[in-house]
Amino acid sequence: MTEYPKSKKRSFPGPIAILMVVIVLAAISTWLLPAGEYNKLSVSGKSFSMDSGSGSSVKLPLTQKTLDSLHIRIALQKFVNGDIRKPVSVPGTFSVEKRNGQGFISVLEAPIKGIIDSIDIILFILVIGGFMFVFDEAGAMVKGISAISHSMKGREPRLIAMLTIIFSFFAGSYGMAEEAFVFYAVLVPLFLVAGYDLLIPMAVIFGGTALGTIASFSNPFSTIIASNAAGVNWMDGLTGRIILWVIITALLVWYILRYAAKIKKDPKASLVYQVDGEVKSPFELEVTDTTNTPKLEGRTKLLLFIFVATFLMMIGGVVFLDWWTLEMSALFLGSAMLVAVIGRINEKVFTQRFIDGARSLLSVAFIIGVARGVTIVLNDGHVSDSILFYASHLVQGVPPVFFILLLMAFYLVFSLFIQSSSGMAVLTMPIIGGLAIIVNIPGREIVNSYNYGLCIMSFIAPTGLVLPSLLMVNISLKTWLKFIMPLLVMLTIICMIALVIGIYL
């Protein structure tokens, strides 16, 4: 197995440490902020149930007239279909309550309560990790990419376009990130032999996966988790995200091909050469005979089909069969078993690889639980609604366009410190999602602003994967910034336009 270079020590604390600090700050806020709650509206059987902070509950007719009378600008069908999964704050019903400050024990219990509260999502993520490692053990993905790479020797521009689209699709569909590291050993020597510099594989692999997450049309680690936390259906806005994915992926392909053609014509125009000088890749000596095109066996083709079909079935199950984490987890578990049978992976290896895969995402699972603990502390201290109440007063009268762009800017800045998409989602979405309803902005655009800000910043955030990726190709951050910054400006403008259009659709 290839020994990948280790990243340098980060200057920022890790996401879990940051989230624990946030939990402490949340606990302190319960002693400083006035306690209070909104009445909450939810569906109970064939009627609405409106619960007050004092514990009383009132049954209301399950009609659009009820929603209109309460100034809740959500279609009745959203509640009936289960698109709105969380109780909704009723505008104008905020009442001050007795302070309930959260102490040391509450801080210690918060991450545990958060993990218990989000166990369904955590198990889903762990099962996905197991599935990915079992699929990797079968070797089908590496073989598929290698076959495409070798068959297109001499047609590298087309290869660059195809691979960029593939990596972007994998990121947008299921959140490919760290697992893309395996492809550097395959593609770095290939592009170097073709006459390109080390920025090309970096842009194709890391750039493709980072860009794909911006649209995240079915990414369970960002869009699905964020939508769940905000109380909206993740399918709302799917068409717009797919359209955006097509646009920005085409832009990235054009951007890389433009640079590739430039350095192909004049190698001294390479930014790597101009900034870093003569550098060698860790994989430069691994070049083998690239004249023989590896053929995909029938078994490998079948495994690749199962891989793609699994994600398509997940989308179809959610859309048409009302699936959620239980059904999706069962799907990926079944697919992992099927891959093991077809790939002839013995039982002990299958079990070990599945556990290894789950272990690889255990930190993500803990991040989700710890981040949910922040909300639990705020809710137990009865200050979540207080923050929502006073924040809504600050933004009253602010045009929706200004609000949504400010929100994207917030995520751009905040994601410098937390690059965990799932952690960011469950930390911010419950409050931001409720605030969006009061400001009259579609929930899907709140999720989109989170995706845009977080993922645009992932191209350069030191707490993310950019530094390990740069070490994989042995180029400096300065070189990467010089290459990528013009693209980030274009992506930011496109995403701002998309948000403005989205709030009026």
Q: How long, in residues, is the chain?
A: 505
Query: What's the angle, vertex CA 325, arms to CA 319 and CA 331, rounded to 5?
Result: 80
The whole-number pLDDT of residue 443 equals 86
What is the Cα–Cα distance from 295 to 150, expressed in whole angstroms?
A: 10
How far is it, in rounded angstroms, from Cα 167 to Cα 68?
A: 45
Q: Over 90: is that where the pLDDT of 456 sits?
A: yes
CA nearest neighbour of 113 among 377, 365, 361: 377
**pLDDT tens profile 4-37:** 344 343 344 556 777 788 889 889 989 998 988 8
- Per-residue confidence at 155, pLDDT binned at 50, 70, 90? confident
Q: What is the pLDDT of residues 379-412, one digit of tens each?
A: 889 887 787 677 666 666 678 898 899 889 988 9
Q: CB within 8 A of 480, min separation 6: which ones?
A: 199, 202, 460, 466, 470
CA 414 – CA 83 distance, rounded (Å): 28
What are the CA-CA distances from residue 212 to residues 250, 254, 320, 485, 493 (Å)?
11, 15, 25, 17, 17
Q: Is the dihedral of CA 212, 215, 219, 221 positive or negative?
A: positive
Q: Give residue 456's identity as a one-letter amino acid code.
A: I
> What pLDDT shows up at residue 393?
67
Alpha-carbon span 283 to 235, nearest angstrom: 41
What the block records as the tokens of 218 is 């079915």
Pick from 184, 177, 213: which is nearest to 201 by CA?
184
- Give yes or no for residue 152 having a pLDDT over 70: no
User: Amino acid letter at 300?
Assistant: T
pLDDT of res. 462: 75
| Secondary structure (H, E, C), 78-89 | HHHCCCCCCCEE
- Rounded to two decimals, the pTM is 0.66
Tell me, what amino acid is at 103?
A: G
Mean pLDDT of 188-192: 81
CA atoms within 13 A on the CB side of 354: 19
Nearest to 188 by CA among 163, 165, 211: 163
What's the pLDDT score for residue 14? 59
Task: Identify the CA nearest to 336 among candidates 146, 143, 134.
Answer: 134
Dig out the tokens for 491 from the structure: 């992506």
Please name the residue that has the structure tokens 């609604």.
385
Is it the case that residue 504 has pLDDT exceeding 50? yes
d(CA 200, CA 162): 13
* Amino acid, res. 126: L
**DSSP H or E run through 42:** strand 40-44
Would you state the pLDDT for residue 93?
Answer: 80
d(CA 229, CA 429): 5
- Residue written as token pair 């089909």: 305
Which pLDDT score is estimated for 284?
Answer: 55
Highest mean pLDDT among 186-195, 212-221, 493-502: 493-502
CB atoms < 10 A from the CB of 221, how many? 26
What would the pLDDT profile of 287-332 be if each residue is shown by its tens digit? 444 455 567 788 888 998 998 788 778 767 865 787 778 898 999 8
Q: Given strand 88-89, what is the order of strands in its sheet?
A: 57-61, 47-51, 40-44, 88-89
**pLDDT > 90 fraction of the chain, expressed in percent and rounded:** 30
